[in-house]
Structure formats: structure tokens, C-alpha cells
Amino acid sequence: MSAKNSSRIFTICCLALLVTSMTFAIRAGILSQLGAEFSLNDGQLGWVNAMAFLGFPVAMMIGGALYNSLGAKKLLIIAFVCHLAGLLLTISAEGFWGLLISTFFIGFANGAVEAGCNPLIAETYPDNKTTMLNRFHVWFPGGIVVGALISKAMTDANLGWQLQIAVMLIPAILYGVMTLKQHFPEIERIKGSTRDNVKALFSPLFIFMAICMTLTTTAELGTQQWIERILGASGASPMLIMALITGLMAVGRYFAGPVIHRLNPVGVLLFSAIVATVGIYSMSIATGSMVYFAAILFAIGVMYFWPTMVGFVAENIPESGALGMSMIGAAGMFALSLWNPVIGSWIDSARESANASVIPGIDPELVAGQSVLANLAFFPAILIIAFTFLYLYMNKNKSQTVVTADIN
């Protein structure tokens, strides 16, 4: 594949991921408006959020299984159609069930983007997979920055949530038209048949990484998706915090190469888990301007989680192929679909407890947000232990491989 053609395809993938990330940011920014307009509590809003994170793994499982036969272009066309359907249905939604259905379509589209683009980029850059996947995923936090700033500006201007959703139609149509016009050359598929790919999913290492992915995803996206509700009473602007976090993540992912080279992927994951734990816990006790400092720590902690997990699977379990790269992401998003209603119920319960408290001057919204953040800090804390074991395991295997090579 020519460098020019590779560049155009990479651009299409980045635009598609931009739309994906904007759906996360703008939905986070309009949760309060949706709750007020449709009289939804945080538990119900949690179910609406859950549909995005349920549609995502469903698409990734289907897309990963069919990647070898469909190819990336058809998956991107499916994503485009579902993005259009989901956005238009959201704009015309009249209640809870309309939001559930439309959000599922958007989640399915987002998952189809990941299912098509991750293996495509790994195929296009076989000698630089983890670095290029990090550069591709620059556009996830990058799109969240764009979406968060748009949402804040439009909300401050008293523009309705329907217009905020409509803004996303512009980049969606752009990547859809570019995909339809672009020739995707047939290039060598990632190793193995679909049967071999499925077999690799049952290896102990893949199962371990899938479990870890459920924790990394919930720590990263579970916190960000509820940021407006969690930090709304902290004295800091939630959407500015979202823009700060994701802006730092974008910069970090763009320059991921030297970091990954110095620490290696497992070292990066262990470092990330430690900093993410400190960051989330700091947000749970901070107020005012200190929230921004805590948010910086959180951003540094989570910026490498998703692409490095996908890159680890691509490099260390290559026999899992495109299916493995899709399923690792699907595991994380499926877990998040289950945790979203729980997070919403945590907020409701903490608010009720604070309202029932006899302590004067207590702000129920602040207490609820801090309580939820304290709970979320347990996810990366568990990962510190898990990634320490992984680090030791990989080093032991590397040493054994070197000894065997020397003997031979």
C-alpha cells in the first residue's frame, strides 16, 4: 500500500473516531438537560448511557468475527449508517425508550468504527502497531475536547440538546462520504483463520487481559461519562475539566512512542494504574481549583489504557487476529454497560443519604459526587496488583525465551 493511500485511510479512521468520541462528550454534557426534559432520575440516565456501552461491544463482537470476510470498508459503511440513524433518532426522541433505542444505535456505530479501524491500522503498520494505535486513539480524547467545548458553549448560549446532537452529523457525513469514495486495497489479513482467532480467545493471557480491560475502561470512561453529574457541585466547571483531561490525553497519546519504548507496554499499564488511582482519589476529596490539579493526574493515569491494551493483544497474542482486538475492547465496553446503571444508582443513593443527614451546610450534590469517585478509585487500585503480576510474568517469559535462544 502506498504511503499516500495509507495516509488517506488513516485520516478516514481518525474522522470516524472523532464522531465516536464526540458522542461520548456531548452526551455527558447534556445529561442534566435530558433528565430535566424527560423527568429521568440518575438511575434511568444510567440505563440510557448503558445502551451506548452495550451497542459498542455487540458491534465489536460481530465486526471482529466478520472482519476477515467483510473487511474494514464495509464495517465503516455500517458505522456511518448507524451513526446517522442513531443521531437522527436521538434528536426526535420523545422519552426514555426513544433515548434507549437511539443511544444503542450510536453505540453500535462506535463499536463498528473500532472493529474496522483497529485491525486495519495494525495491518497497515505491522512494525509499529502500538505506537500507531496510540496515534489513532489521539482522536478519541481529541474528539472529546471538541465535543466538551461545543457542549459547554452551546449550553451556556441556552441552545437545546437537540442542536448539540445535530452538530455531530457534520463529521459523520464527512467520513461516510470519504469512505464510500476511497479504495481500500486488499492487504494481508492479520494472522490466522477465524477458527484460530476464536481458539486464542480462550488462552489464559487473553482472558486475564480481558478482565483487566473491564477495569481500565470503567476507570477511564465510567468517570468521564458521569463527570457533569459527579463534579457539578465541586466548584469547578465539569466540561472544562473534561476538555482538560482529554486534551492532555490526546497530547500524551500522540507522543506515546518514546514512553512505550522506554517503559514497554506492561510498564506503561502499571504506571498508568498507579497514577489513575491517585488521580481519581484526589478528585474525590478536592474542591474548587484543586479539582483541576487532580484531573491532570487522572488524565496522565488513563491516557494510555485503551490503546496500549489493544496494542498488547496485537503484539503478544497475534493469533487472536482482528477478533482479539475487537473482543478486548468489547469486554471493556460490555462491563461499562453494566456499571453505568450502578454508578447512577450510587449517585442517587449518596444524594439521598446526604439529604437525610443532620449535618448543617452539607451539599448533597458534592457529597454524592465525591462518594462515587471514591468508589471508582477501587478499579485502578485493583489494576496495580494485576499489572504487577503481568509485569513479572512477561519478564519471566522474556528471560526464558532469551535463555532458550542462547542454548539453540
| 297-320 average pLDDT score | 89
Domain 3-399 has CATH 1.20.1250.20: yes
- 358: confidence class by pLDDT, cuts 50, 70, 90: low
pLDDT band at 2 (very low <50, low <70, confident <90, very high): low
- Altogether, the residues listed in the chain come to a count of 408
Which of 85-113 are b and which e, b meaning 16 or more Cβ less than 10 Å from the residue's Cβ? bbbebbbebeeeeebbebbbbbbbbbbbb
For residue 24, pLDDT beyond 90: no
The domains of the chain are located at 3-399
For the segment 53-79, the average pLDDT, to the nearest whole number, is 87
- The CA distances from residue 350 to 42, 96, 366, 384, 402, in Å, are 11, 23, 10, 27, 53
% of the chain beyond a pLDDT of 70: 91
DSSP letters along 79-123, please? HHHHHHHHHHHHHT--SHHHHHHHHHHHHHHHHHHHHHHHHHHHH
Q: With contact defined as beta carbons under 8 Å apart, do 190 and 122 qualify?
A: yes
Q: pTM of this prediction?
A: 0.75
Does the pLDDT value for residue 242 go beyond 60?
yes
> Average pLDDT for residues 305-315, to the nearest whole number?
87
Q: Give the C-alpha distances (Å, rounded to integers) separating 202 from 31, 208, 210, 215, 219.
A: 38, 10, 10, 19, 25
Banded pLDDT at 95 (limits 50, 70, 90): confident
pLDDT of 399 reads 60
pLDDT score recorded for residue 278: 95
Q: How far apart are CA 315 and CA 267, in angstroms?
A: 15
Q: What is the pLDDT of residue 261?
A: 65
Work out the percent of the chain whose per-residue pLDDT is above 90: 29
318-324 mean pLDDT = 85
Banded pLDDT at 3 (limits 50, 70, 90): low
Banded model confidence at residue 277, pLDDT cuts 50, 70, 90: very high
* Residues 64, 75, 207: CA angle, nearest 5 degrees: 15
Average pLDDT, the chain: 84
Higher pLDDT, 326 or 176: 176
Cβ neighbors of 297 (< 8 A, separation 6 or more) are 275, 278, 279, 282
The CA distance from 197 to 126, in Å, is 18
The pLDDT, as a whole number, for residue 191 is 52
Q: Is pLDDT at 195 greater than 60 in this prediction? A: yes
DSSP, collapsed to helix, strand or coil, labels residue 7 as: helix
Over residues 181-199, the mean pLDDT reads 72
Of 90-94, 226-230, 358-362, give the lowest mean pLDDT range. 358-362
pLDDT digits (tens, 9 = 90+) for 148-170: 788 888 888 888 889 989 999 99
